[in-house]
Structure 1
Amino acid sequence: MRRTATTVLLAASIALASCSNGHDTADAKPTHKATKKAASKNTQYLADAHEITFNGSPSDGELLLFPPEWCKALDAGHSVEWMLSIGGGGLYPAGDDWGTAKADAYTLIVSGTEQFCPRNLADVKEQLRASGGY
């Protein structure tokens, strides 16, 4: 009886071990589809940003810094007003030598939210409508 139980456990262990492909999922490389989707988000956001008239000339790299920070702030429950305030979030889309009008800042936030954290888009639009900015 003990030999039978040991044999069953050994067979089950071998079967479970053979199910593994030996690769840790944390080491998995992003798929082409995931890479293409990220590039698409950047491309669409930058296309929207390039339609805006800036005071100065921000680089694409500078513009791409904002959406992830906006998403973090929105996920933390902060408002668009808070994000754009100097004393609050300090996430107004401007650099050392460039800036945007407030209406253009709203356009960038809507585009960035739509592309990078669409789960927050309805709330952002609602806040901007309530403030008269959208």
Structure 2
Amino acid sequence: MRFGTLLLIGTLAFSAVACGSGSDAKPSASPSATDNSDKFLDEVHAEHFDSWAETAPTDGEILMLPPEWCLELKDGHSVEYLLGESAAAYPNGPEWGTARPDANRLLVLGVTNYCPEYRDQVTKELRETGQY
């Protein structure tokens, strides 16, 4: 092969590696959102949620919850509204579910990382009902 051809092949190979395959690439987000999601997922993975022993949610499913909780809290809703018996914001999916004690812990982790200004409110409500 000629040097030019080898150089072209090498450049293309380097470009492919540098760009990545896309499977490990994270979606573009603001640094704080990425930091929050990474820290939140690290904390969730470090927890032991008994209700996820057999089937657990994906990271993507987990990451969808805190922003929704924060919006609901901002609108003045309570923990019971978020996680009550028929709440739409309850952490469950078609193949997995979360027991209420685990959901409470997950909510505290989510609020702590995404909207810490509501953490005291959430923990107070949970304590008042004997759930934290």
- Asked whether the two chains share a fold, i.e. TM above 0.5, the reply is yes
Question: CA RMSD, aligned part only?
Answer: 1.6
1:52 aligns with: 48
Over 3 Å counting, the alpha-carbon distance change for 1:133 and 1:124 in structure 2 is same
- Tell me how far 1:41 sits from its aligned partner: 0.8
- Tell me how far 1:35 sits from its aligned partner: 3.2
1:22-74 deviation line (CA, Å, top 9, x unaligned) = xxxxxxxxxxxx83322221112112222233151211000000000000110
Q: Does residue 35 of structure 1 match 2:30?
A: yes
Q: Does residue 123 of structure 1 match 2:114?
A: no
Q: Does residue 91 of structure 1 match 2:89?
A: yes
- Tell me how far 1:91 sits from its aligned partner: 0.9
Gaps of 5+ in 1: 1-33
Letter in 1 for 2:109: S
Superposition misfits of 4+ residues, deviation over 3 angstroms: none
CA contact (8 A) 1:57 1:98 kept: yes
Q: Which of 97, 103, 106 matches 1:105?
A: 103
Aligned residues: 100
Which whole-Å CA distance do the structure 2 matches of 1:43 and 1:115 have between them? 10
Where 1:57 maps in the other structure, the secondary structure is coil
Letter in 2 for 1:125: T
Which whole-Å CA distance do the structure 1 matches of 2:89 and 2:69 have between them? 7
Larger Rg: 1
* Percent of residue pairs identical: 41
Q: Does residue 71 of structure 1 match 2:70?
A: yes
Which whole-Å CA distance do the structure 2 matches of 1:78 and 1:42 have between them? 23
Gaps of 5+ in 2: 1-28
